[in-house]
A and B are shown apart, each in its own frame.
Chain A
Amino acid sequence: MITAGIDMGAQTVKVVILSDGQIIGSSVSMVGFDLLESAQKTLDEAINTAGISRDDIKRITATGSGRKSITIADNISTEISCDAKGATWLLPSVRTVIDIGAEEARAVSCDETGKVLDFVKNDKCAAGVGAFVDSMSRALELTAPEMIDLSFKSTKDVQVNVTCVVFAESEVVSLIHAKTEKADIAHAIHDAIATRTTSMTRRIPLNNEVALVGGVANNAAVLAAMNKHLGVEVVIPENPQFVGALGAAVLAAT
């Protein structure tokens, strides 16, 4: 059976197409003004990469913050369930999934079947999520990859306030004007994200293995800081930003 998972996030939409336990296609694009149109376009691209036709897809499950707008889906599922399902499908020994997306950070505790046991998420404040990285890279006038490279060249510990994205941006600007090395600022930013996410994760049982997923999982500097703060070696599946969409495709097949 061929199924598709659509993950409509705050910044990007991801689609994964699954055929009898094999990933046969995927695509990602920026979210446009019309959510449904963005989803449809991304689904079409994924269908192209899979080399199938739209009619071959038997079921579609939508997830992500914009899931309710995806009226082409047969059903919807929460990001929490999809993260757990997707991560354990890729890495069966995973019991804790940390997902850092553009606007949401979540930690999910699950069993070997990918069933959710407990979870925690940010709900009041965007400090420590992808939007934080974006905002800080703008302030530093660096691209996110440049910021990551530079972060590893840091020689001095400096502190960045992590209570508010808007304030942290002003604080970074002050640090720049105080002639603080950009490398040290970049390091402080990544460290701040990891600190924030780690303290949130500690509110649920932390069982090995721990996987980091979502767009921010591609950020090696955040990963290094997460390893340090969590005190465990965090694993990252291939294409971590697709884990939610994959979980949705897996759920569509069951």
Chain B
Amino acid sequence: MTTKKTNIEFYRWTENVWKSPEKDWRKAETITCGIDIGSVSSQAVIFTDDELFCYSSTRTGSNSPDSAQKALTMALDGTGMNPEDIQFYVGTGYGRINIPMANKIVTEISCHARGANFMGGPTVRTILDMGGQDLKGVHCDENGKVTNFLMNDKCAAGTGRGMEVMAELLQVPIIDVGSLSLDVDKEPPPVSSTCVVFAKSEAVGLLRSGWTKNMVLAAYCAAMAHRVVGLLERIGIEEDFVITGGIAKNTGIVTRIEQELGVKAKPLKPDPQIAGAVGAAVFARALLLKSRKTD
């Protein structure tokens, strides 16, 4: 299959940085940081006491230590805070074993539950994490403690990487995929192929037969949503239900998951993609306070 070569990388999503406008970090009793090195994206989240102070979300580079450093530098930029000012670091995510500044590592399952609990409140019971390379369904209690989980990490179908491949094929910026997929007169049947490689060929076939890009995106989003729902049904849905990870920003997927489940997802503010790092920063604060108590 020959596709037109362009220099635009359609899979690229927007990297972002946020910092609290009014907080003075120098007055904080605890300054903790959570770093989540995922397979596709990396986040650094800094807490002053029990509040979010700043964060960054960037693309994971070629190795974990550099990605961690980059995310941290981005988050701290313009805050006047230096890496030494941070009193405790927790690393998580796919690349967690290789984060040099981490005082401790915690699995991403625990961190997503804790982060969802922080952002969504104590009523959150079911978390769907849709990451770059895996899908996780997690149950937690009112403290954000994991009670059960299920994951798929053998196949890229239904993951962020799969969506990137499709965005690249259709030459659609990935951030527009969701809204375009909802802009169809009638919902087309989902693509039938599980494998991303096959789904790509199936998409080309659909374009050949006269489907519009939006229809193909709709069919792909529907297939992805269906796959995710299959996983969620195995673990069970208990409300509140939240979605974390980069795909949570794709309205085309989220809307279709909600329709198929008949359950609304509670939105996570400020950013569902930082849930893992938020959880890590929460763990870091707890660990720091515990160590101060024993000293």
- The number of residues on chain B lying at the interface, defined by a beta carbon within 8 Å of a beta carbon of chain A, is 23
The listed residue (A32, A33, A163, A166) touching B165 by CB distance below 8 A is: A166
A149 within 8 A of B: no
**Pairwise interchain contact B208-A10, C-beta atoms closer than 8 A:** no
B198 lies within 8 A of A103 (CB)? yes
Are A164 and B155 in touch, CB under 8 angstroms? yes
**Does A30 interact with chain B (Cβ within 8 Å)?**
yes
| Known contacts A103-B201, A166-B156: A125-B133 contact under CB 8 Å | no
Smallest CB-CB separation from B164: which chain A residue?
A166
Indicate if B6 sits at the interface (CB-CB under 8 A).
Answer: no
Task: Name the B residues within 8 Å of A152 (CB-CB).
Answer: none
Contact for B156 among A31, A164, A173, CB less than 8 A: A164
Residues of B within 8 A of A65 (CB): 201
Closest beta carbon of chain B to A69's beta carbon, Å? 8
Indicate with 1 or 0, residue by residue over A160-194, a CB within 8 angstroms of chain B CB atoms.
Answer: 00011111001001001100000000000000000
Closest beta carbon of chain B to A98's beta carbon, Å: 19
A81 to B56, CA, bound (A): 56
Q: Closest approach, in angstroms, between the C-beta of B27 and any C-beta of chain A?
A: 41
B154 near A165 with CB under 8 A, answer no
A125-B155 in contact (CB<8A): yes
A218 interface hit (Cβ, 8 Å): no
Q: How far is the CB of A35 from chain B (nearest CB, A)?
A: 7
Asked whether A163 lies within 8 Å of B2 as measured between CB atoms, the reply is: no
Interface pair A126/B208, CB less than 8 Å apart: no
A124 touches B197 (CB 8 A): no
**Closest partner residue, chain A, to B162 (CB atom):** A166
Measured CB to CB, the nearest residue on chain B to A122 is B195
Which residues of A are found within 8 Å of B62, using beta-carbon distances? Answer: 173, 176-177
A200 to B117, CA, bound (A): 45
B203-219 contacts to A, CB under 8 A, are 204, 207-208
Contacts of B2 in A (CB 8 A): 30, 32-33
Complex interface residues of chain A between 182 and 213 (CB less than 8 A to chain B): none
* Residues of chain B in range 1-20 having any CB-CB distance to chain A below 8 Å: 1-2
Looking at the assembled complex, report how far the CB atom of A189 sits from the nearest CB atom of chain B, in whole angstroms.
Answer: 15
CB distance from B32 to the nearest CB of A (A): 28
Give 1 or 0 for each of A127-156: 1 = CB within 8 Å of chain B CB.
001010000000000000000000000000
Whether, in the assembled complex, A11 has its beta carbon less than 8 Å from a beta carbon of chain B, the answer is yes
Distance between A147 CB and nearest chain B CB, rounded to angstroms: 18
- The 8 Å CB contact of A10, one of B194, B201, B207, is B201
- Are B1 and A163 within 8 A (Cβ)? no
Residues of B within 8 A of A34 (CB): 208
Query: Contacts A103-B197, A126-B197; is A33 near B208 (CB within 8 Å)?
Result: yes
Asked whether B70 is an interface residue with its Cβ less than 8 Å from the other chain, the reply is no
CB distance from B168 to the nearest CB of A (A): 12
Task: State how many angstroms separate the Cβ of B95 from the closest Cβ of chain A.
Answer: 9
CA distance A177 to B201 in the complex (A): 30
Which residues from A are CB-within-8-Å of B154? 163-164, 167
Please measure, in the bound complex, the distance between the C-alpha atom of A32 and the C-alpha atom of B204, giving whole angstroms: 11
Bound together, the chains give a CA A43 to CA B198 distance in angstroms of 26
Interface residues of B (CB under 8 A from A): 1-2, 39, 62-63, 133, 153-156, 159, 161-162, 165, 194-198, 201, 204, 207-208
Q: Which 10 A-B pairs have the closest CB atoms?
A: A166-B156, A126-B197, A163-B154, A177-B62, A125-B195, A177-B63, A126-B195, A164-B155, A131-B197, A124-B194
Measuring CB to CB, which residues of chain A are less than 8 angstroms from any residue of chain B?
A: 10-11, 30-35, 65, 103, 124-126, 129, 131, 163-167, 170, 173, 176-177
A-B contact pairs, 19 of them (CB 8 A): A10-B1, A31-B1, A35-B208, A103-B198, A124-B194, A124-B195, A125-B195, A126-B197, A163-B155, A164-B154, A164-B156, A164-B195, A165-B196, A166-B133, A166-B162, A167-B154, A170-B39, A170-B133, A177-B62
